[in-house]
Structure formats: structure tokens, C-alpha cells
Amino acid sequence: MLQESSVDSSGSRFAPLVVLELASDTKEEAIAWLLSRIRDRQQNGGAELLVEQLGPGIGLEEKENPNMFLVGASMQRLLCGAEDLGLFKECTDGSMRAFTFASKHNFKDFKGDGDGFLSMAECQYVIKHELDTLRAKEETNVPGYSHAKLYPGKSIIRRLLSKGILIQMFPLHENEELKRLSFSWYKKVKVSLQPLDDIRHYYGEGQALYFGFLEYFTFALMPMALIGVPYYLFDWEDYDKYVVFAVFNLIWCTVILELWKRRSASLAYYWGTLCRKKAFEEPRPGFHGVLGHNPVTGRAEPIYPTSKRHLRVYLVSLPFVLLCLYLSLYIMMIYFQMEGWALSIYDENPTFWTHILLFIPSIIYAVVIEAMNLIYRYAAEFLTEWENHRLESSYQNHLVLKVLVFNFFNCFASLFYIAFVMQDMELLRQSLATLLITSQILNQFMEAFLPYWLQRRRNKKMIRKIQKRRLYEEKELPLVEQVRLEADMSTYLGTFDDYLELFLLFGYVSLFSCVFPLAAVLVVLNNITEVYSDAFKMCRVFKRPFADPAANIGVWQLAFEAMSVIAVVTNCALIGMSPQVRSYFPESETQLILCTVAAEHVLLGFKFILTFLIQDVPKHIQDKLARLEFESLEALKKKRQLHGGKCWKPRSSVRLSSEEDRCACRY
């Protein structure tokens, strides 16, 4: 599975897994120190990994960074690392258990000395973890860099990264496997499901869950798309009919999210991430503060008072977000003025061109929305960085919250205004269609073609290398060339933007699609091309990302659920406003409103109950988890009884592996 390649400059052979790129002007003493710490044995506080400098490339015509290092490890070191990380693997009896070296032969795919037992992505994750947890001992600074302060226990790699000495650390692609994966993923012509297990094998669970969700979401939209087409064809102008569609919408968006939780739990169970215990979370690289002691680990660590962070969040970030929301509203009002002008021009002179003009404000507004989202995104990242969160997860949550609120407001404010203030269903339909189509086209462009194109332009050297690669054709590119090629590729920034896009699409469909039944069809088409463009950019455009052993889609589940609550409210309001329903309450508007509100409350209550009734983890997986838990308890008990009931007798060295698998799952 791993490509066994010799490193030119040395006699030793190992499979390179991860590349460290240091700044080209890094001082020799710092390099020597770093390499010795990486190679040092674990009992001396080293990482006990293999590391070699990358030799010069073939075409030495340009300045190349000499400070590129390949990191690998012996199979045994990787397996120990996997045990440290608590990776879950399938046992011979079909259950998923935490891997331990001692019980390695109980695991299904363990053969010989374990070659091929861990996927390359897992090996790279192990190496990343070992490098990340390589800690300073007595050093007070990085040798040769007096400003790069260290203290006992500080992660060396994180300090090097934050000081710019380490430029990047990335895992290598595996060309053979990538070729196979890309063929089964997006090059095949026949329609089929995505190879989720292969994606997980190559990119890790976080990526695979994203593509799994994308696929699930597309299938979930199918019934809506199928109902939407006849609606569009036969009832396009019959506004009254949308009540049925709204009711369907309302049930749909609740049920699919509950079912996704079950699907996600199934996937995560078989991928071994559902039960895995999370390691203690280290501070982010950029986190700074006065040196103090962490109350949990007792280690030296920067301390930043929570009260100061709260002040920054509530006195700076919150007002900023509110200001941006106000700005967004202001631009929306300008859009409605433009809309008014366009309409007045059309009324004065109704020609084909003035009819086209009617769509122009919507298109401009859609482009402006996308631009604002993009600019706001940078501002939000800057602000969240400045809030100085200790943990990456906390940083992510604050960033997601900021971005979600603004994007939701920015994209949907005009639709809400049209639907509930102007109550103009014709305009709502037109506006929704324009927004949806424009944003889809823009997104596809921004997401796949632009990075690819920029990449090609920015780096002529790379094109030459690609051409050189083409010369080699089937033969492998020499390792040195391949590493330099990958080092120049763009960095994949995570699934954030992909989920955000799905979130907004989910919003368009669940909130207002009853007035534009074709929305689901458009989103399905978009998702299908999305699969291809995302797969393409993962395989061709970006550096390989490190695997992310996620057990679920995290905060996005919450975001989608919040959206589905808003969808219930919106659809109820749309139903209440429909002429069909209004006709039942001819004399009293008050009564109509009260009935709508009552129905909405009942539906929200029902939705809440449904969340309880549908179990988050399927029964057969619950049973398997309970079985693991039960076995570990029984093993402990039995061992005690073997010792004649004298539980204080020293324990024998025989250790049942199941004892360690106690699973801290929530189900």
C-alpha cells in the first residue's frame, strides 16, 4: 500500500508519508535540533520517527527550497501510534474495538507484521499526531531564534508554525491509489453511488462524511424534485396549490435530518470513529497569553482570561456582526429600489429587452450577496482569530456561528421581505429562481474552476512539471519531483465552505420551495455536479489534507436543524397566507392568524417529540456498543473471580483487550 521509495541522499529506505517544509533561510542549528528531536527515542521525549532531507530535483534550473524533509516511521512505530490514538479497527468477530498492539492478532486485516493494516491516511494521521505532540524539554527558545520562545511542554511544531519557520506540513498523495479512487469516483460514466469507503480510506472520515452527507441530501431531495416537476408543469400559475407542497416540505425537512443522524452513526460506527475517545485538545497554534499553568494538565501553557475574551466577543465582534447585518439590509433596500426602477421602465416601454431588464436587479443582487459573503468571511476569520480562542473547536464554533448568521441573513432577508412584508408570491418566485441559479453558477465557478485556473496561471513551473509528468506517462514521476509538485499545490481549507453551500441550498429548498417547486430539481442538479467538481478538486487541485477522524458532521447538524425549525415557521406562515386557507376564514383575519399560530405550535411540538422518538443510533449498532461495554465489565469481574474473589491480590499481567475498549459513546 505504501510506496517503498529510496531517499536519494541517504542509504536508508523508508516510505515517506508526510512532508515538512521549512523556510529556505532556516538556520542550520535549528534544522539539526529539530531533526534530532524527531529522531530521538520516545523515552527521551522524542518522536522516534524517520526523517530525511529531500534531494535536489531533476530540473535544477530554478531556485528550489532545499529545506524539505520527508517523515516516515517503522510499521511498529505506526502501530504503537495507532494504539496511542485509540484507533478503532474491525475484529475477526466483526465488532469494532480499539486497536492494541498486544491483541493485534484479534483484528481482521492484521497479517504478518501489520503491513497494510493501517491505511496510508491513518499512518499520516499518526505521524501528524506524533509531530504535534513533540514537546520542548528544557529549551527556552528554538536554537538560533531567540524570539521563538519555548517552555517545557510546548509543542515544537506549533511554535515553528506560528513563527513562520515551518512553512507547511502536509501528507503525500499516493498516485496509484489516487488513480483508482478518482476512476471509481468521478471518471466512471455509469451512474452509481460514491465509493464512500474508498474516500474514507484515502481522505479520512471527515471528508467521507461530507461526501456521504452530500449524497444523502441529494437522494433526500429526489421525492421533492419528482413532485416539483409536475407542479411546475401543470400548476405554475395556480398559487393556491402550494399548501400541499408546503405541508410536504415541513414534514420532509424534519424527517430527513433525523434519518441522517442514524445514517451518520452507522457510517461512523463502521469507520471506527463513533466510539473513539478524543484525545485531550491542545491549544491552537495562534493562541497567546501570559505563561501560566493549565488546570487540567498542570503543564505550562499560555493563559488568557475568559473575561477578556468575552469582552472582545460581546463588545467588538457582536456589534460588528450587527453592523454587517444592517449593511446587508441597506443593500437589500437598494435592490428593491432598483427592482422598482426596472419595473417602471418595463411598464413604460414593454419590449423584450425591458423584460430582460426585469431580471437584471436580481442578478446584480445575487452577485453582490456572494461578494459580501466572501468579504465578510475574511472579516469573520480575522475577528475570530483576534478573539484568541484557546481551542480549535471553540474557534471553529465561533467562526461558524458568525458566518452562518450573516450568510443566512444576507441570502434570505430579501426573500423574507418579499414573502411576508410585500406578500408578492410572483416576485418571490422570480427572486428565488434568480438567486438560486446565479449563486449556483457563481459557486461552481469559484469553487472548482477558479482555483484550478489560478493554480495554473500562478505557477508556470507547475505546468512545466505537469507536462514533464505527461512525458513519463505511465511510469511514476520521481519522488523528489512529486513532492515538489505537491508542495506547490493549493491547500485544502476543510469542509467549511462546502457545508455552508449545502446549508444555504437546504435553506432555499426548505423555506420557500413551495412557491417555486423547481428549486429541488435545481438543487439536485447542482449537487450532482457538486460531487464531480468536489471530487475533482480533492484529487487534482489541492494538496492531500490530513485525515480528520470525525464521528459526525458536528456543528452543521445543529445548523441544519435550526434551519428546519425556521422552515416549519415559514411554511406555516406561507400556508396561512395562501388564498386557499384564507377562504376558510372569510370574515375574521384574527381567527386565521390564531389558527395558523396554533397549528405552528402543534407542529413544532410534534417535531420535538419526533426528535425523541427516532433514535439517533440504529438499534443494531446500539446493541453492538452495549455488547462491548458489557464484555469489558464481565472481563473485569471474571478476572477478579479467577483470583479467588480476592480483589486486592496483585493483578496478573494477562490483560483482556476488551477491558480497554470501554466506550464513551453517547447513544
Span from 175-183, 316-324, 437-445, 649-657 in contact with its own copies (CB under 8 A) = 649-657
- Cβ–Cβ under 8 Å, residues 39 and 134: no
In the complex, the smallest distance separating the C-beta of residue 565 from its own copies, rounded to whole angstroms, is 9
In the complex, the smallest distance separating the C-beta of residue 20 from its own copies, rounded to whole angstroms, is 22
Q: Which long-range CB contacts under 8 A does 627-635 form with residues at least 24 apart?
A: 627/95, 628/95, 628/96, 628/97, 628/275, 628/658, 628/661, 628/662, 628/663, 629/662, 629/663, 631/658, 632/656, 632/658, 632/659, 632/660, 632/661, 632/662, 635/659
Q: CA distances (Å), 609 to each of 155, 179, 396, 602, in order?
A: 46, 47, 30, 10
**Does residue 375 bind its own copies (CB under 8 A)?**
no
**Does residue 642 bind its own copies (CB under 8 A)?**
yes
Residues forming a β-bridge with 291:
302
Assigned C-alpha cell, 510: 426548505
* Selected binder of its own copies within 143, 182, 629, 656 (CB under 8 A): 629
Residues forming a β-bridge with 57:
none
* Selected binder of its own copies within 76, 164, 359, 374 (CB under 8 A): 76
* Selected binder of its own copies within 6, 36, 297, 351 (CB under 8 A): 297
**Does residue 626 bind its own copies (CB under 8 A)?**
yes
**Does residue 391 bind its own copies (CB under 8 A)?**
no
Q: CB under 8 Å to 224, separation ≥6 — which residues?
A: 248, 249, 252, 509, 513, 520
Residues forming a β-bridge with 5:
none
Q: CA distances (Å), 190 to each of 59, 186, 216, 378, 410, in order?
A: 41, 10, 19, 40, 39
CB atoms within 10 A of CB 138: 8
CB environment 530-559: b (16+ within 10 A), e (fewer)? bbebbbbbbbebbbbbbbbbbbbbbbbbeb
Q: CB under 8 Å to 312, separation ≥6 — which residues?
A: 386, 387, 388
* Selected binder of its own copies within 95, 531, 662, 667 (CB under 8 A): 662
Span from 381-389, 480-488, 520-528, 635-643 in contact with its own copies (CB under 8 A) = 635-643
* Selected binder of its own copies within 48, 132, 139, 282 (CB under 8 A): 48
* Selected binder of its own copies within 3, 35, 95, 104 (CB under 8 A): 104
Give the interface size with its own copies as a residue count (CB under 8 A): 51
Q: Which is nearer to its own copies, 63 or 646 (CB)?
A: 646
* Selected binder of its own copies within 13, 101, 236, 457 (CB under 8 A): 101
* Selected binder of its own copies within 226, 259, 279, 391 (CB under 8 A): 279
Q: Is 359 exposed, middle or buried (0-12, 13-18, 19+ CB in 10 A)?
A: middle
Q: Which is nearer to its own copies, 337 or 591 (CB)?
A: 591
Helix axes 479-487, 460-472, angle to 10 degrees: 150
**Does residue 39 bind its own copies (CB under 8 A)?**
no
In the complex, the smallest distance separating the C-beta of residue 232 from its own copies, rounded to whole angstroms, is 32
End-to-end C-alpha distance for the chain, whole angstroms: 35
- For 48: left if phi > 0, alpha if psi spans -120 to 50, otherwise beta; the answer is left
Q: Which is nearer to its own copies, 297 or 529 (CB)?
A: 297
* Selected binder of its own copies within 83, 177, 301, 370 (CB under 8 A): 83
**Does residue 105 bind its own copies (CB under 8 A)?**
no
Assigned C-alpha cell, 582: 384564507
Binding mask 558-597 for its own copies (x = CB under 8 A): -----------x-------------------xx--xx--x
Q: Which is nearer to its own copies, 280 or 353 (CB)?
A: 280
Query: Which residue type, as a one-letter code, is found at position 654?
Result: V
* DSSP letters spanning 58-74: S-TTS---S-EEEEE--
- For 547: left if phi > 0, alpha if psi spans -120 to 50, otherwise beta; the answer is beta
Span from 39-47, 138-146, 151-159, 283-291 in contact with its own copies (CB under 8 A) = 39-47
Binding mask 223-262 for its own copies (x = CB under 8 A): ----------------------------------------
* Selected binder of its own copies within 146, 467, 583, 652 (CB under 8 A): 652
* Selected binder of its own copies within 32, 102, 222, 233 (CB under 8 A): 102
Assigned C-alpha cell, 263: 445514517
In the complex, the smallest distance separating the C-beta of residue 49 from its own copies, rounded to whole angstroms, is 12
27 backbone dihedrals φ, ψ, rounded to 5°: -70, 145
**Does residue 282 bind its own copies (CB under 8 A)?**
no
Q: What is the contact surface with its own copies in residues (CB under 8 A)?
A: 41-43, 48, 76-77, 79-80, 83-84, 100-102, 104, 277, 279-280, 295-297, 569, 589-590, 593-594, 597, 601, 623, 626-627, 629-630, 633, 636-637, 640-642, 644-648, 650-653, 655, 662, 664, 666
